Amino acid sequence: MADHRETYKGRQIVISGTADKPELSIDGKAIFILQNSSGAYLASGFAFDPQPSPLELARKIIDYQQAGR
């Protein structure tokens, strides 16, 4: 799987790894993610708003970080 890179609200999201085991980083910092029993993605520090894909999860995390300042 080719890496997916995008800039979201000024932050750099990178999805790498494999389809079975994707890896996420934001601004170069790796973020631990895992899938729950319905296949949705959770992240370290972000367990209660599961998202259908690592990319959507990354955007939610950035939304939170910007809203919380």
Partner 1 sequence: MGTRKNQSSLTPAERAAFVAAVKALKASGAYDVFVTQHRTAFLAGPNDPAHGGPAFLSWHREYLRRFERALEGIDPTVSIPYWDWTVDRTAAASLWGPDFMGGNGTGADQRVTTGPFAFSTGEWSLTVRDPGDLTTFLTRAFGSMGALPTQQTVNAAKAVVPYDTAPWNANSSNNGSFRNRLEGVVHNPGHMWVGGSMMAMSSPNDPVFWLHHCNIDRLWAEWQREHPEQSYLPPSGTPGVVAGHALDDPMPPWNNESTPPTPRSVLDHHTLGYTYDNEPVSPQALPLTIDAPPVTASIGGAGEVDVFSFEVSSSGRYMIATEGTTDVVMGLYGPNDRTTLLVEDDDSGAGSNAQIARELAPGTYYARVRHYSGSSTGDYRILVTRADGSSAPPTLQINGPVVQGSIGTVNERDLYGFRVTAPGTYTIETAGNTDCVLRLFGPETPTNLVAEDDDSGPGANSRIVANLEPGTYFAEVQHYSPTGTGSYSISVRS
Query: Is residue 51 close enough to count as binding partner 1 by CB under 8 A?
Result: no
Number of H helices, E strands in the chain: 1, 7
Query: Is residue 45 close enough to count as binding partner 1 by CB under 8 A?
Result: yes
Applying the rule CB under 8 A, the residues between 23 and 42 that interact with partner 1 are: 30-32, 34-38, 40, 42
Which tokens belong to 61?
A: 């995390």
Which neighbouring-strand residues pair with 5?
14
Instruction: Provide, rounded to whole angstroms, the least separation between the CB of residue 60 and partner 1.
Output: 8
Give, as one character, the DSSP assignment of residue 60: H
Contact footprint for partner 1 (CB under 8 A)? 30-32, 34-38, 40, 42, 44-50, 63-64, 67-69
